[in-house]
Structure 1
Amino acid sequence: MALKGKIVPEPVDIGQIAVPPFAQLPDAATLFESRAERLAALAPGHALEPYLRFLTAIARAQHGAVGQLPAGTLPGKDHIAFCHARELPVLDRLAWKRDASFVAGARAIATELTGTAMPEPAAQALAAFAGRDDASLEALADRVLREEHQDGEVAEVLFAGAALELHFACMAALLDPADLAPVEPRSLCPVCGSLAIASVVEAAHGRQGARFLCCSLCQTRWNYTRIQCAHCVSTKGIAYQNIEGGSKAVRAETCNECRTYTKILYLEEDADIDPVADDLASLPLDILVSEAGWARACPSFYLMPDGDDGDLPPLSSAG
């Protein structure tokens, strides 16, 4: 995908804040509805408009599924204390045993998407996903979390990822913020241990200038040092890149120590930002930063390679 333009370094204002809260848990009742609204607002006239509209449908399906889930089973105080003592996430994505709400959510999403217009490969992938039995859905989810999915099921990763995101976000929403503490390394989510899909710099009074990493799985946000790599935690060689003449609301934080980048979003520039939606809509920035030599630190369920190009999200012809 050829693009015109160049990335330019941007200065950063560290901001002033006394004691920001450590974590912000997702609100499952509004999370996916708000994302759908943001995607729908970003789509018109966008180079990836058909795909953003398809993702809007997925977010709406996730929102519709929230009310259909059985109550989640949370860890007890002993488990939480054990995790705190060892600086471990309380619902580690690779170790926590998912309850029945995961499969219920996966099936609800597939049902909600019935009748949605999509390219034939997507329709086939959805049919394959919906046709799996419970054990097969769980096994697929385990492979997706470990990034070990098989070539023949790549197109299903998007739907499995949406179901996992729904499950872990709903579980995180049930936690008490007081039950959360930093884990090691600090760049990992204190709830599920995932990497950050992006970070957000707050603009609200009392939080202005505070930076929160945004979990790529459960959507928890946790406070993090302003100028520090969101991947390797280095404070050296950090720079902020922006497409020349483009929006300053979304930039790429690049690290010369690990040669990765993570998006950083500024609510002062755009109060309606959603970490997942705006990450997906800023794909041109990914391409230019990647061409300049940095690798994306955190994969996205919604940005899988498409064919030999590798730059486009799957099903980019969705309409």
Structure 2
Amino acid sequence: MVQRLLQPGEIESLDHTAIPRLLLPHPGSLFSARAERLRNLAAGNVHGIPVEEALRGYLSLMATVADAQAVVVADLGRDGVPLPDESAMTLAHEHNMPPLPATGTRPAAWRDVFARLLDVLAAAKDAPPQLAAALDTLRATEGAELEGIADAILGTFDEGADPLRAPFVAAALQVTWSVMAGQLDPAWAQPLVTGTLCPVCGSHPVASVVRIGGQSQGYRYLHCSVCESEWHMVRVKCSHCESTAKVAYQGLVDKDADPVAENKEAAGKGKTLDKANDPTKVARAETCDDCGTYRKIFNQEHDFHVEPVADDLASMMLDVLVSEAGYARASGNPLLWLKEGA
């Protein structure tokens, strides 16, 4: 979700003491933007996120899935997935609970969304050859088994989800919840007791992102893996245990880069080194030595087009390096399910 940049006159009129605590999704543009980002990542066009050759085909496949999500959203319309009963949402609100809980009884509409998604994917012109076989398997999945996969995705992000089918089921769930979340009033929804779970649906974040533009300028938001909402959390704070004592940042540095030489060259020309658009700061892992976990943080200040779900999916090299350093990933990406031990 890209925030609109304000003009100087608009900036002056803002209440700079008011931080937008919650950014609700705009599914009508979110999935098409994600598809474009995934294709740029697959093509190696994002300097801050180097992508291994073996991963590029998968990113292209997920771009096709994101395109299909965008088509389904357009077909559904803004209120195409009905909100839960108003009394249930009000009760949740009064008790600081998520109004659109991802766990528990799911809206029946999600199965229709799933079927529509498969139909759109079947008609995709740029789909890889192996997609047809995957769609056959997905269509043959019995209702109880399909619901079991959804339970695993919306529950623990752990066991119970078939790695081959789960990304497609997750894509349908993202459409379902983002369409519902987009109908809410951000001023009505409120933070949960813990700041580490989505205030809209109660799910874990997939990553965090530093936003630019308007009143969100420079603030860090956690991006929900299910409903695509974003909620504010201060920087240099573990998004898993909320500790601030032992937080650090690990990034990928170009082995050929020489920042000292670059600074000397810039100084020799009477210039200062541009600190914006620094590829090494586009994607980093925020590690915490108190709980031993990490979660990635993407910075729109250094790449305007960062997209948390897509960028997290593409930066597996960073996952490998941070895991080798002894940190465990705090939560997964709904579009990637690895077999145990992978």
User: TM-score, structure 2 length as denominator?
Assistant: 0.79
Distance 2:291 2:340 in 1: 27
Alignment of 1:258-273 (within 5 A): 258-273=291-306
- How far residue 303 of structure 1 moved from its aligned partner, in angstroms, is 2.3
Measured against aligned partners, the alpha-carbon deviations of 1:48-90 in whole angstroms (never above 9, x if no partner) come to: 2211111100101111111333832213553333223322111
Contact between 1:262 and 1:297, CA under 8 Å: does it hold in 2? yes
1:98 aligns with: 106
The 8 Å contact of residues 103 and 137 in structure 1, kept in 2 or not, is answered as: no
Q: Are residue 32 (structure 1) and residue 40 (structure 2) matched? A: no
1:220 to 219, 222, 229: 229
Deviation beyond 6 Å, 4+ runs, structure 1: none
Q: CA deviation at 1:260?
A: 0.7
Deviation at 1:200, TM superposition (A): 1.2
Match of 1:85 among 82, 94, 99: 94
Query: 241-250 or 160-169, which moves further after superposition?
Result: 241-250
Measured in 2, the distance between the counterparts of 1:59 and 1:268 equals 24
Matches of residues 283-298 of structure 1 in structure 2 within 5 Å? 283-298=316-331
Question: Closer, same or farther in 2 for the Cα pair 1:26/1:163, shift >3 Å?
Answer: same
Closer/same/farther in 2, CA of residues 240 and 303 from structure 1, 3 Å limit: same
Q: In 1, distance between residues paired with 2:310 and 2:185?
A: 26
Letter in structure 2 aligned against 1:111: D
Superposition pairs for residues 160-239 of structure 1, below 5 Å?
160-239=169-248
Q: 1:44 to 1:307 in 2, by over 3 A?
A: farther
User: Structure 1 length as normaliser, TM-score?
Assistant: 0.84
* Cα separation, 2, equivalents of 1:143 and 1:282: 24
Residue 284 of structure 2 is aligned with which of 247, 251, 256? 251
Distance 1:269 1:125, change over 3 A: same
Alignment deviations for residues 213-252 of structure 1 (CA, whole Å, 9 cap, x no partner): 1101111001112221111111120111111226311111
Q: Secondary structure at the match of 1:29?
A: helix
Instruction: Give 2:13's aligned residue.
Output: none
Tell me which residue corresponds to 2:140.
131
Work out whether residues 154 and 203 of structure 2, in 8 Å CA contact, stay in contact via their aligned partners in 1: no
Q: Percent identity?
A: 39
Unaligned runs of 5+ in 1: 1-16, 311-319
Three-state SS of the structure 1 residue aligned to 2:284 is: strand
Number of the residue aligned with 2:167: 158
Q: Per-residue displacement from partner, 1:156-210 (whole Å, max 9, x unpaired)?
A: 1111111111111111111111221011211100011111111111222433221
- Cα distance per residue 1:71-113 (max 9 Å; x no partner): 3221355333322332211111112x32232011111111111
Alpha-carbon distance in structure 2 between the residues aligned to 1:62 and 1:224: 28
**1:143, 1:149 within 8 Å by CA — same for their partners in 2?**
yes
Aligned residues: 290
CA RMSD of aligned residues (A): 2.1
2:149 counterpart residue number: 140
Structure 1 residues 140 and 207, CA gap change in structure 2 (3 angstroms): closer
Q: Is the 8 A contact 2:110 2:176 kept in 1?
A: yes
Name 2:60's counterpart in structure 1.
53
Match of 2:260 in 1: none
* Cα distance in 1 between the residues matched to 2:246 and 2:158: 32
Q: Does 1:71 align with 2:80?
A: yes
Kept after mapping to 1: 8 A contact 2:312/2:333: no
CA distance in 2 between counterparts of 1:111 and 1:143 reads 24
Alignment CA distance shift 1:181-1:57 (3 Å): same
Q: Is the 8 A contact 2:100 2:200 kept in 1?
A: yes
CA contact (8 A) 2:221 2:232 kept: yes
Indicate if the aligned counterparts of 1:187 and 1:195 stay in contact, CA closer than 8 A: yes
